[in-house]
Amino acid sequence: MRIVIVGSTGQLGTDLMKTFREDHELIGLTHRDIEVSNYSSCLTLKEHHPDVIIDTAAFHRTDQCEEEPGKTFLINAIGPRNITKISREIEATTIFISTDYVFDGAKNEPYNEDDAPNPINTYGISKLAGELFTKQNPKHYVIRVASLFGAAGSSGKGGNFVETMITKAKKQESISVVDDQWISPTYTRDAAKTMKKIVESQLPFGIYHATNKGFCTWFQFAKQIFSLLKLNPSLTPIKASQLQVKAQRPKFSALKSTKLLKHRLQAREWTEALSDYLAEKGYK
Ligand SMILES: NC(=O)c1ccc[n+]([C@@H]2O[C@H](COP(=O)([O-])OP(=O)(O)OC[C@H]3O[C@@H](n4cnc5c(N)ncnc54)[C@H](OP(=O)(O)O)[C@@H]3O)[C@@H](O)[C@H]2O)c1
């Protein structure tokens, strides 16, 4: 297949490029090559005659999204709308990367693909709008991921949680981490492999949750990082309410890959994936 990856140098984009390159003809587009919020700029997609377009571009600094709703919607909603419109015209499949933040967190157990979204912050609302635009192409996959960690680090967020924890520990800082928000940490290498299988197996179009298996709080995530690295920094659990942040976050946004489980494509446990990530980065 000819596959275009938008955001090819981002955290997930980098692993998508590495993973799909093995068996497909790939075109990676960086922010310099395309501005997703600008329809004219997106017309460049047509020149590549793709079978599949994967949109990883996002404005995802969650607190900043509250302050810049216009920019947030342009990139996270109008962007996928532009890409979907063009995909339809050239009969390509659209793949949009979405988030656990489309849920409100009130369920208190992992969300399935068919649970009703109800985002509680601007970022989540904009990504849900992106999902809805993407569905306008009958040939679409909406792939929800969460709490990503990948070797390239998130360009939009300036790294990832694992790197932040390691840096703080090495500087011998006291570390306080939220212990009442539950998430599904996900290795971008695993998410990329899952997405490749979804495309190659031609699974039915629709929404898929492609996180690693299991869930934890951010505090438990930090504990696991330090335990695997045999580091022992001063680490304190705190409540989310103790942080002064602009965006409200769901209390429980772990995802369950119910549909992938049926196809035996569920990714492995997040703890195993974390261990491999640390090895990939040369920490162990
Ligand atoms: N990171 C997470 O924990 C997380 C959790 C749930 C869902 N997601 C979703 O997963 C996807 C990938 O996340 P990631 O961590 O890989 O993000 P990332 O590292 O920030 O990558 C996003 C890529 O898109 C590019 N981009 C940003 N704005 C663009 C625009 N307006 N037009 C064209 N390209 C643009 C960025 O380029 P520049 O950096 O040069 O601007 C970057 O290469 C996003 O859709 C995000 O919403 C992420």
Please answer whether residues 8 and 14 qualify as being in contact, where contact means their C-beta atoms are separated by less than 8 angstroms: yes
pTM here?
0.98
What does the pLDDT read at residue 158?
A: 84
169 Cβ below 6 A of ligand 1: no
Q: What's the chain's average pLDDT?
A: 97
Closest atom of ligand 1 to CA, residue 96: 45
118 Cβ below 6 A of ligand 1: no
Residue 44, pLDDT > 90, answer: yes
Binning pLDDT at 50, 70 and 90, where does residue 93 land? Answer: very high
What does the pLDDT read at residue 86?
A: 98
Binning pLDDT at 50, 70 and 90, where does residue 118 land? Answer: very high
Closest atom of ligand 1 to CA, residue 60: 47
172 Cα: distance to centroid of ligand 1 (angstroms):
30
Residue to substitute in 5, 9, 11 for testing ligand 1 pocket (most ligand atoms within 8 angstroms of CB): 11
Please answer whether residues 214 and 255 qualify as being in contact, where contact means their C-beta atoms are separated by less than 8 angstroms: no
Please answer whether residues 139 and 205 qualify as being in contact, where contact means their C-beta atoms are separated by less than 8 angstroms: yes
Tens of pLDDT, residue by residue over 235-280, are 999 999 999 999 999 999 999 999 999 999 999 999 999 999 999 9
What does the pLDDT read at residue 284?
A: 85
The helix or strand, by DSSP H or E, that contains position 96, with its residue range, turns out to be strand 93-99
253 Cβ below 6 A of ligand 1: no
Residue 21, pLDDT > 90, answer: yes
Residue to substitute in 37, 99, 211 for testing ligand 1 pocket (most ligand atoms within 8 angstroms of CB): 99
Give the mean model confidence (pLDDT) for residues 185-211.
Answer: 98
Tens of pLDDT, residue by residue over 142-161, are 999 999 999 999 988 889 99
Alpha-carbon distance of 276 to 270, in angstroms, equals 10
Burial 66-91 (b: 16+ CB within 10 A, else e): beeeeebbbbbbbbbbbbbebbeeee
What does the pLDDT read at residue 156?
A: 85
What does the pLDDT read at residue 160?
A: 98
> Dmax of the chain from CA atoms?
55
